[in-house]
Amino acid sequence: MLRSLFILMLVAIMGAVGHYYERQAGPTLVNNNDSVIGTALISDDLMPAMPLSGVDLEALDRATRPQEDFYQFANGGWLDRTDIPEIYSGYTVYHQVHENAEIALRQIIEQAAANSGEPGTESQQVGDIYRSWMDIDAVNALGLDPVRGDLEKIAAIQSRADLVRTIAELYRQGVEVPYELEIDPDLKDSSRYTVYLSQSGITMPNRDYYLQLDNENFARAREELPRYVSRLLARAGMPPTTANAAGAKVYALEAAIAEAQWDAVRNRDPELIYNPYPVADLGQLGVNLDWDVTRKVLGIAGEAQLVVQQPSYFETLDKLLAEQPLNSWKHYLAFRMLDAAAAHLDEATAAIRFDYRNRVLSGQEEERPRWKRGISMVNRMVGEALGKLYVAEYFPPEAKARMEELVGNVIATLDDSLQDLDWMTEAARAKAREKLSKFTAKVGYPDQWKDYSALQIVAGDHFGNARRSFAWDYQRNLDKLGQPVDRSEWYMTPQTVNAYYNPVQNEIVFPAARLQPPLFQLNADDAINYGSAGGVIGHEISHGFDDKGSKFDGDGNLADWWTEADRNAFNARTRALVEQFNAFEPIAGMHINGELTLGENIGDLSGVAMAYRAYIRSLNGAEPPVIDGFTGPQRFFIGYAMSRKGKYRDESIVSRLASDPHSPLKYRVIGPYRNIDAFHEAFGTQAGDGMWLPPEQRVRLW
């Protein structure tokens, strides 16, 4: 929960596989192309040739006027000829990079698997994780044996005290229970780590699925959830009649948990979720959770204070522990344990999970091939070990240097514009420039790699490897307590196609795999890179000044550095942006939630505006050439739009509208562009055009 505030991500593509190793944020996608990273390991026909301009001319829809629907103009050709593969719930430019790169990453992993080194080395760990996962016969032969002990432990619960202890024990094994623990820098003292507790423990993507009974888009997910619970419990040996009754009870308990949870908009507010509780005051939240036992089992008994993100939720959870029948809780825990473990068990059990988690909730028609999931397993267990191998072979210093140049130019452009903002007071402007001067940019890969040598990876023991990996990472986080904050740590691996801004460290981070074609083209015209790569740079910088990031100072502390007049002026502009996005209806009956997506919409709007100014600045007054029939400014806007091309199945759109702080891809282009004067000038829009927005209604922020 808090990590999603700390890491304000550019794009979320693929969900995590269970709770066992959800410590790496975002997808783990890579790219291999000889124009950027050296020797090609894939044939040329897998990557379309790009002209010097960097514009994918075949992706354009020439039948659509750019003034009418720019997203369709820039991407319509690609959208029309591209079907969503059955193994995905959506397909985007990020998946395109992923598909072209998996062959290269597979070769790295399989080479390690064939030549495992000494125990504890990166090569041994990477190879043994992958080979153990790929030995499907061995996994199938075990069936549910790896979790029999957990099921017996849950069945043996006889009291509320047993229940509370077992909940904490299961959490330490990687099972999602009604709360979540994170160890991260303190929001008001970013030099030290603290413990955060937040709400968790429901199966559907968002509390709204349980509570908005009049929303037809959520109906199938609600109807199928009790059946999913029953199928998993029956698979574990529960008699069918008992399993059916248990499914209904688990659903009812999850609905009660969901009703107590805070909504996504409220959870975005760092001031609301920062609620420090001295240990002596935890009893104010209730006594049934038995805080002494819970803290001891979780390994945080030595902490004098916890930050409880949603106090009212924990008050209700405390009551539910006493009021809900013990058998309902036991069924719930058995289901939650099986749900977390199923993807790592035999094919029959994993198929039950896939049918609900992927097909019902996301519309994915087929499971990804096992080798693809094996790559994800390696990434999640020893992501930086694999990243170290990847970077050594495929990430050139030229790409790192070029990206650092782009970052510097965009930051300099924002510094210039801060001096001219007409809505900001001198005092706040000085503070904003001070914060910007303290930004840290991380490009490519960490300076310090994680040391996995203490993690025991055993050949032929996939489930054990998954458990030990989670336990290793859990202990690694516990060991942070009492230590100074490690500002060198990355929260994404180098092979992750994503980027983030971390407000408590005031840093922007761009993994190596994000800097690959067509998202970043080393040999292309500057306009395209300033649009695609510069747009994401500006986006992440903007998070430091969006509606929530602006509440942190340059040292990463939650502090109010705005005057009342500044905040009021800012809020008036962002309110207009909220209303603009509230009007978009991506799927019948569901509009974008402008409050939930506000931070990302600010990032998109301000990021594009910053990147465009940086592009113009880079020209040093020269007139850019016309290439492929497009001026420099036009190529810039095409470049950014190209970086957002993609499509999703309806089920996935519904899920994203309910819980994703990002707007759907189309609206991440047309929403910002309608507000940018330079776009209207570049394409000569007029009143009556679909992209037109009167100048007086355009939102201008940073």
Position 193 scores a pLDDT of 98
Q: What is the mean pLDDT of the chain?
A: 91
pLDDT category of residue 21 using cuts at 50, 70 and 90:
very low
Cα 32 to chain center, whole Å?
23
Find out whether 552 and 506 touch, Cβ atoms under 8 Å.
Answer: yes
* Closest of 11, 205, 72, 7 to residue 662, by C-alpha: 11
The pLDDT of residue 3: 56
Q: Which domains does the chain have, with CATH numbers?
A: 2-42+50-105+373-697 (3.40.390.10), 145-344 (1.10.1380.10)
Q: What is the pLDDT of residues 639-697, one digit of tens each?
A: 999 999 999 999 999 999 999 999 999 999 999 999 999 999 999 999 999 999 999 99
Please name the amino acid found at residue 81: R
Give the model's pLDDT for residue 62: 96
Predicted pLDDT at 32: 26
Task: Please give the pLDDT value at position 20.
Answer: 33
Phi, psi of 122 (to 5 degrees): -60, -40
pLDDT in tens, 26-67: 222 222 222 222 222 223 333 344 447 899 999 999 999 999
Decide if pLDDT at 495 tops 60: yes
Q: Which has the higher per-residue pLDDT, 605 or 14?
A: 605
Q: Mean pLDDT throughout 397-420?
A: 90
Alpha helices in 342-461 (DSSP H): 347-354, 361-362, 370-394, 397-418, 426-437
3-state DSSP assignment of residue 219: helix
Q: List pLDDT tens digits, range 550-609.
A: 999 999 999 989 999 999 999 999 999 999 999 999 999 999 999 999 999 999 999 999
Residue 621: the pLDDT is 95
- With a pLDDT cut of 90, the percent of the chain lying above it is 83
Per-residue pLDDT, 39:
23
Residue 438 DSSP code = T
Residue 12: band (very low, low, confident or very high) from pLDDT cuts 50, 70, 90: very low
Q: 250-302: per-residue pLDDT in tens?
A: 999 999 999 999 999 999 999 999 999 999 999 999 999 999 999 999 999 99
Sign of torsion over alpha carbons 360, 228, 659, 588: positive
Report pLDDT for 189.
97
State mean pLDDT over 90-97.
91
Give the SS3 label for residue 161: helix
Cβ-based neighbours of 543, under 8 Å, separated by 6 or more: 8, 501, 503, 549, 599, 602, 603
**Whole-Å CA distances, 107 to 31, 154, 396, 425:** 13, 42, 19, 56
Q: d(Cα 334, Cα 320) in Å, to the nearest integer?
A: 17
Inter-axis angle of helices 326-341 and 148-155, to 10 degrees?
Answer: 170
Query: How is the chain split among helix, strand and coil, in percent rounded to 5?
Result: 55, 10, 35
* Predicted pLDDT at 118: 81
In the block, residue with structure tokens 């522990």: 321
Would you say residue 24 has pLDDT above 80? no
Query: pTM for the complete prediction?
Result: 0.90
The CA distance from 313 to 605, in Å, is 34
Residues with Cβ within 8 Å of residue 91, at least 6 apart in sequence: 82, 83, 84, 85, 646, 647
Q: Which of 94, 597, 689, 134 is nearest to 376 (CA)?
A: 134
Rounded Cα distance, 99 and 87, in Å: 12
Note the residue count of the chain. Answer: 702
What is the per-residue pLDDT for 346? 98
Q: Quickly list DSSP for 53-85.
A: T---GGG--TTS-TTT-HHHHHHHHHHHH-PPP
- Determine the pLDDT at residue 67: 98
Question: What pLDDT, on the 0 to 100 scale, is given for residue 56?
Answer: 93
**Residue range 192-244, pLDDT digits in tens:** 999 999 999 999 999 999 999 999 999 999 999 999 999 999 999 999 999 99
Distance between CA 364 and CA 189 in Å, rounded? 43
Three-state secondary structure of 410-427: HHHHHHHHHCCCCCCCHH
pLDDT digits (tens, 9 = 90+) for 112-168: 888 877 888 888 999 999 999 999 999 999 999 999 999 999 999 999 999 999 999
- For 575-588, the DSSP string reads HHHHHHHHT--SBT
Q: What is the arithmetic mean of pLDDT over 10-32?
A: 30
Does the pLDDT value for residue 469 go beyond 60?
A: yes
Residue % of the chain over a pLDDT of 70: 93
